[in-house]
Structures are given as C-alpha cells and as structure tokens.
Structure 1
Amino acid sequence: MAVVLEPLPPRDAIAAFGARHADLRESFSYLDIWQEEHATMFTVAKSAGFDILKDIYDGFERALKEGLTPRDFARQLRPVLGQKGWWGKKLIEDPLTGDVAPAQLGSTRRLQTIFDANMRVSYAAGHWASFERNKRSRPFLRYVALLDDRTRPAHRARHNLVLPVDHPYWDMWAPPCGWNCRCTLQSLSQRDIDRLRAEGEDLRFEAPEDTFRSFVNRRTGEITRVPDGIYPGWAYNPGKAGYEARVNQALSEKIADAPPEFVAAAVQERLSSGAFERFLRNPQGSMPVMPIPAEISDAVGGNVHIALLSAETMAKQLRNHPELTAEDYRAIPSIGAAPTLVFQDKQRIFVLVKLGEGRWRYVAMKVKGTAKAGFVTSFRYANDADIAKLLGREGVRLILDRREK
C-alpha cells in the first residue's frame, strides 16, 4: 500500500500533524469523530479502553519525521500493541449501545490504513499552507487524479479541473476524498496553465455539477448530504481545515501574550475577517472573541487578557443555539467592553450586559490557574428571570455590579 505524494517540505506536514497532539481522543467507531474533527485531532476506532492512542500517535509522528514506510510503521508498533492486548479480533462492547460483537483491532493491514489516512491528511494540510503562502503568484489549483484501473470514476471526471485557490468548490472536493484516495491538488500560475495547454493538456475551468446522496450516521442519527464520489466523512477540505486550525491557534496564543492595548484591535480584525465566517461554519482551532478588561482580570487573580472560543465550544453552540447569527457573535467584544454585571460561579466567570426591556446578553468562561486566556463555555441571550436564577445559586461571588439600584 504505497503512498505517493507530491514533494513537500517535511516541516509543513510535520507541523500540520503536530498541531493535533493536544487532542488525542479515544473512539469506538470512525463515525464518532466526523469530518473536520479529524483534521484537528487524532483518533483510532476501537481504541477506547486499551491505552494505545499515544503509542500510535508517537509511532506515526516518528514515521513522518524519519520517512518510514507503512511496513516499518506497522512493524515497530506491533509489539507494544500486542502487549497491551490491541491486536487481532476480539469481542468488544459498544459503549453507545452496550452490544458485544467481534471486532478487528490491530493488524498489519489496519495499521497501514491508519498510516495512509493520516499521512494524506497531514500532507494535505501542509500543501494548503503552501497554497495560502503562494496564492498571489500561483492563484489556481488543479485536481490531479492517477488515471489507472483503481481510479474512482467521479475522481477521474475531475482530473484537470482548474479553479482559483479560494473557490468554494474546494471546500468539499479537496483530496483525499475517501479512504486510499490517491488524488492531489497542484498549485498553478497563469504561466503554468498556458504551458500545460500548449502541451496538450485538456484543462477544464468549470466544475462538473454534483449529485448528492443522503447518508445516515448510525452512531448519531445525523443525516448529511454527501456528493457522489466522496466517501461519507470525507466531504470536507482536510488541508484547509488543518491549516486554518493551526493559524487560528497560533494567532490566539500570540494575542493572549500581547499587551492589553493591542488585544482589542486584534480581536476586531479577526472577527471582521473571512476566517471568522469560516470558523462559524466549520470550527477549527480557537478564535479570540473578547478582550478582558483589567478590572475582571484582577478580580479573578490572573493575567488574563483575552477570551477564546474553541472549536469544540463553537460546535456545541451551533447545535444548541442555531438561531445565533454571525452578527450576534461579532457583538461578543461589547460584552467585555462595558459589562453591566460580572460574577463568579465556582470555576466559571459570567460577563453580562443588559440590553434593555429585561433582555441580557452574556458570556460564560473558564480561567485556569495562571493562564493568559480564558475559554468561553457558552454565549447566549437571557431574560431577567434567567439572570435571577443564575445569581441565586449557592456560592456565587459578585465581581462587578452596575445595575440600577
């Protein structure tokens, strides 16, 4: 199972994979972790309860850095996985249903599949970092399929499709588009396009019309529309998702370290950017959303300058509060800028602003130890009764109160 990839500076692929180290998540089925989540975290199906996830992660990272083959990767991991009992077929209980059934755990073939999928996603993210860096001089992407008897018909139909880097078509049709997909994207300048056409390449500049099918995730019951030709769970752009997660995380960390006078401008820039729109649609990494004034930071005993909205919390917000719009989220900084009420309830800090007529807007966040950033846990609208209920909890500590007496 050879992996054939375009040349790429190893640092880009290694950095893309390394960004996933903070989220090693055990799972029972690949359906438990969906689409863009795979680009920002690391999991292996049937890993729960075996304590093998870090072993596989470390083994793949070593393979990526040292240029090992899939066979080397599998050979090095087999002893430790066998020692921990994660090898061959065994009876496994599904934590979702309680059903017990035989399942394939470790095998040479399965490790090679894990290697292939993670290698392609890491390289896709590394490639996308290069596309973004060079899109002024190379503003186009070309879909390249290997035209042999193993090529999927839908992928063959997109061979030589050329569209701008920022074209929304790449949000779904960006390789890999399924397990063992060998397609790639190639960046092109206008001179490259002219040369290829002169050499007789049949380049096409209009995307074929997609047809869709419904896919039911048997783990969650969620129904999604998947383009024909893309395997369920791969209908997203792995490269862009991994790249944007890295950018968002890096910017968040830099802003958290910035002097307070620079934080407000940096937050405003991010919230007005196209990157924030994409974050709302497909959350990746963390996004800075609210400067924290000194009066709040001092009250919680820290050096906290910024509140960050993580991809996990944003995904929860989309599920629980689909009515909130981009403009609602862009109003978050105004809550911290002129809060009406701030209080602490155990580990959470509530920052609220009264909008009038019994209506409130608030952010709840957690601040850990000496961290320079707080993490938003929820954002919503509320009424006077909701606020009275929050304040009535045992142990609530008022930090700031500007309500009319």
Structure 2
Amino acid sequence: MAKTAFALNMPPEKAIKWLEQQGVSVQSRSSMNPEDAAKVITVARISNLDMMQSIKTALIDSAKNGTTYAQFKKDILSHMQAAGWLHKDENGKPEIIDPDSGEVFGSPRRLENIYRTNMQAAFSAGRYQSLMQNAASRPFWQYSAVNDNRTRPAHAALSGQVYRFDDPFWNTFYPPNGYRCRCTVTALAERDIQRRSITVSESTADNLIDVVKTDKSGKTYISKTYRAADGMQVSTDKGFNYNVGKVNFRPNLEDYDRNLAQQFARADISGAEFKASLQRLQKEISQADKQQSTAGKISRPSVKFAAGMLSEENQLLLQSERASVWLSEDVLTEQIKNITGQTADKYYQELPEVIHAPEMIFKGKKKTFALIRETKTGKMLATIRLGSKNREIQVQSYQNLTDHELEVLQKDMQQLK
C-alpha cells in the first residue's frame, strides 16, 4: 500500500495536527453526540485510557513518518506486548486484552479498521482546511467515491453530487461517512461548472430529511438522510453523521475576504455543532449538583465559534488589529444559564449581525466595547474585548438590552457611534 499521505494527495502536516489535537475517550462512539465524537479517538470495547493514548500516539507517528498500516501494526503490537496487553488464546493466536476489565478486545486484525478509519478522518479534516482556504475561488464541492467493487452502494449514490461549500449537505455527508470510507471531496470553480455543464444541487426539505432508524440494540435514533432523485435514501453509518473537518476546523478568518468570513460566522453560529454544543452544556449544567463519575470522561480540546466580523469602518473605529470575533464555550456556559423563554441556539442567531453592523458602539475599560443592534428579538448587546498583541477578539457577553440599561451605558461609557 502507498503511504497514506500520498494516497490521499494532501500535505500531512494538517492531518498530524488534527490527530495531535484529538482527545481520547473510553466512551462508546454510538453514545456520543456528533460534536464530541468528532473530537476524540475512541475504539469500541477498549476501556483503558493508557491503551487509547498508545493507539493515538502510534497513529500520530504513522502520519508523521508516512508509514504503512503494516508498520503501524508492528509498532503498536510491540508496545502492547511490552505493556502486557497482548496474550495468546488457547490456540496460540494473539489477542488484545483490556488489562482493566479483562475483556478480550479482539485479534490484531481489528487494528486495521482502527488505522484506516482514524487516518482517513485525519486526512479528511486536513483537506477540509485546504478546501475552505480556497472557497472564495473554488466554492463548489463535488463528492467523489472510488467506485470500485468495494464501494458501498450508498457512497456510490452520492458520488458526483455537487453542492456549495456552505450547503447543509456537507454538515452530514462530508467524508468519511463510515468505517474505512475512502470517499473524498474535490473543489471546483465557476468556470469548471460552466465548462462541464455540471448541475449544482441545493439542500431542501425534500432531499435532506430526518429518518427514524433502529440500531443493532433495538434503540431508535434520528438520521439525517439524503434522498436521491430516484427516491433512494442514503445515510451515513451510525456515529459518522457529522463533518469531521468542520467540527474541528476553525480558520484564521483574518486571511479571508471579509464578506466570506462573515458568511462563515453566520453558518458557524447556526450550524449543527453549535446547537450540539449548547445542548451538551445545558445538560452538564443541569447535572452540576450531582456526583459525576470520572469513568468515560472525554478529554477534548476547547471549542470556539466564529461570532462575526467587524466591518472595515468599525475595525478602524475600535482601532483593532483584527476583525474576527470569537465566542468560546466558557462564555456560553455562563450565558445559557440566564437564557429564558426561547431555545438557546435561536437566541444567538443574530449575533454575527450585531457584531458586523451595530447601530451603537460604546467604549469601556480594558479594551472592552459594547455593540448594540435592534434585531427581530429586540435590542441586543454584545460585549467584546480586544486581545493584546494581535490576539483574538472575544465575546464577553451577549444579552437583551432594556431601555434603562441603555441609559446607564450612555451615562457611564464613551459613545463612539
């Protein structure tokens, strides 16, 4: 087999970074929401975090060195042997045994599935960064399956489909869409669409639908499903119904056209990941007073969302080196405790517009600014803070603003606009 990096035709540095940023979890992938599943390496039936960390390290080494699966297998089995995780069964065949639970994980052959699934996810996430960085000039993405005798019918049905990079289709069907999925995405320019007479599809309520499915244990779940023109319904494997690139990728919006960056922020705040993050945080808050076991906890990197872009005029007014504004999960955790009367995800829908086109701006202390805009849900206030030494601008708070509170701002702060 060719080296993975060359087989997938992309610089390995981005895949390596993705792997390095992944957490590890002993929680079952099927029990996680898409947002969490996309941020961790987890392997069914392994409950030992040291073993999981060793698998992650071996994957990173393979990506860095461009080694094949055979070398990955040799390296990880050697480590497992030394750690006492590898034993022989009654027939003399090697088995991997969880030292914590004593459960037999399976034969080393399962390592190939681990390797190919996680490496494909890593390179797909890295390629997503490259595609997004060229979205202004090549905004149309085409789904591409290998289309050989090993291609699954569902993946073959998607092959050739073209959607804009910001179409909801990619929130679910950006590959990989299952274990050992080999599908990729190709970016096309407007001239490619015209020259080849390609039809650009658009997601609607008719072709991107929610379908109730039943897993092997008999539990039902909702699966976002693509309905082809011939009526065929296509879903991802369970646990793969998210965009591995988008969930983990946050671009440097300073490198983008301002309007395109603002469009990204709107999509980020209204996207499935943001909603899933809010739901998880609300659940964690509701359980805060209960005793929580550390078993199965996820080790994950911090999450942030693109909240909006300052207009060129307002960036100059604030004397800011940067234009992109970000919203962290830490701020969300504090904010959603006070949101009442509406769902949290809808509460934030107009935040990008409040940041981009505020009707009033007030200057506070320590590089803080109050941005105010009348929205569909009333007068909203976004408080932002400029970072020092070209660091990111962060949202400090976002809330409804009463007339009395506005009067206090006008009295206590310097009005710039």
Task: Settle same-fold status: TM greater than 0.5.
Answer: yes
1:128-152 CA distance string (max 9 Å, x none): 344342773684524334231x432
Alignment-derived partner of residue 147 in structure 1: 148
Indicate the residue corresponding to 2:125 in structure 1.
Answer: 125
Q: In structure 2, which of residues 320, 325, 328 is the aligned counterpart of residue 310 of structure 1?
A: 328
| Residues 384 and 396, structure 2, Cα contact 8 Å, conserved in 1 | yes
Of residues 236, 241, 244 in structure 1, which corresponds to 2:242?
Answer: 236
Q: Equivalent residue for 2:412? A: 402
Structure 1 unaligned blocks of 5 or more: 93-100, 198-202, 255-265, 294-303, 344-348, 385-400
Q: What secondary structure, in the 3-state scheme, does the structure 2 residue paired with 1:309 have?
A: strand
CA distance in 2, matches of 1:379, 1:104: 50
Letter in 2 for 1:224: I
Deviations 1:268-321 (A, max 9, x none): 958971110121113475536699x9xxxxxxxxxx999742367669959972
Matches of 1:331 and 1:191, distance apart in 2: 35
What is the aligned counterpart of 1:338 among 356, 362, 366?
362
CA gap 1:175/1:167 in 2 versus in 1, 3 angstroms: same
Question: How big is the shift at 1:189?
Answer: 6.0
Q: Quickly say closer, same or farther: Cα 1:134–1:44, change in 2 above 3 A.
A: same
The 3-state SS of whatever aligns with 2:34 is coil
- 1:149-184 Cα distance to aligned partner (Å, 9 max, x none): x43222222333344545443332222111122222
Aligned partner of 1:327 in structure 2 is: 350
Show the counterpart of 2:224.
226
Give the distance between the partners of 1:154 and 1:354, measured in 2 at CA.
Answer: 48
1-structure distance, mates of 2:371, 2:136: 42
Question: Structure 1: how far apart are the matches of 2:200 and 2:351?
Answer: 37
Match of 2:34 in 1: 35
Where 1:178 maps in the other structure, the secondary structure is coil
Contact 2:162 2:200 in 1 (8 A): yes
What residue number does 2:75 align with? 76
**8 Å Cα contact 2:141/2:165 also seen in 1:** yes
The residue that corresponds to 1:184 in the other structure is 184
**What's the CA shift string for 1:77-130, capped at 9, x where partnerless?**
2233455565634486xxxxxxxx875547523432222122212222333344
User: What secondary structure does 1:51 align onto?
Assistant: helix
Give secondary structure in 2 for the equivalent of 1:338.
Answer: strand
- What is the CA distance between 1:55 and its match in structure 2? 3.2
8 A Cα contact 1:26 1:47, kept in partner = no
The residue number in structure 2 matching 1:111 is 111
Q: 1:271 to 1:180 in 2, by over 3 A?
A: closer
8 Å Cα contact 2:24/2:53 also seen in 1: no
Q: Select between 228-237 and 371-380 the one with higher mean Cα deviation.
A: 371-380
Structure 1 residues 314 and 176, CA gap change in structure 2 (3 angstroms): farther
Shift of 1:51: 2.9
* Greater length-normalized contact order (CA 8 Å, ≥ 6 residues apart): 2
Contact between 1:364 and 1:376, CA under 8 Å: does it hold in 2?
yes
> 2:156 aligns to what?
156
Q: What is the CA distance between 1:63 and its match in structure 2? A: 0.8
1:42 counterpart letter in structure 2: V
**Structure 2 match to 1:96:** none
Could you list the runs of 5+ residues in structure 2 that have no partner in the other structure? 87-95, 226-233, 275-302, 316-321, 374-378, 404-410
Following superposition of structure 1 onto structure 2, how do residues 241-320 of structure 1 map, counting pairs within 5 Å? 241-242=247-248, 245-247=249-251, 250-251=252-253, 269=258, 273-280=262-269, 281=271, 282-283=273-274, 285-287=304-306, 308-310=326-328
- What is aligned with 1:50? 49
SS of the aligned residue for 2:306 comes to strand
Cα distance in 2 between the residues matched to 1:130 and 1:141: 15
Q: What letter matches 2:128 in structure 1?
A: W
Deviation at 1:210, TM superposition (A): 5.2
Paired AA for residue 275 in structure 1 = F
RMSD: 5.7
Partner in structure 1 of residue 318 of structure 2: none
User: In the superposition, relative to structure 1, how do residues 42 and 137 fare at CA in structure 2: closer, same or farther (>3 Å)?
Assistant: closer
**CA separation of 1:134/1:361 partners in 2, compared to 1, >3 Å: closer, same or farther?**
closer
Q: 2: distance between equivalents of 1:16 and 1:57? A: 13
Instruction: Tell me, in whole angstroms, the C-alpha distance in 2 between the residues paired with 1:23 and 1:378.
Output: 28
Residue matched to 1:346:
none
Shift of 1:323: 4.0
Question: What is the TM-score when the length of structure 2 is the normalising length?
Answer: 0.58
Q: Residue type matched to 1:73 in 2?
A: F
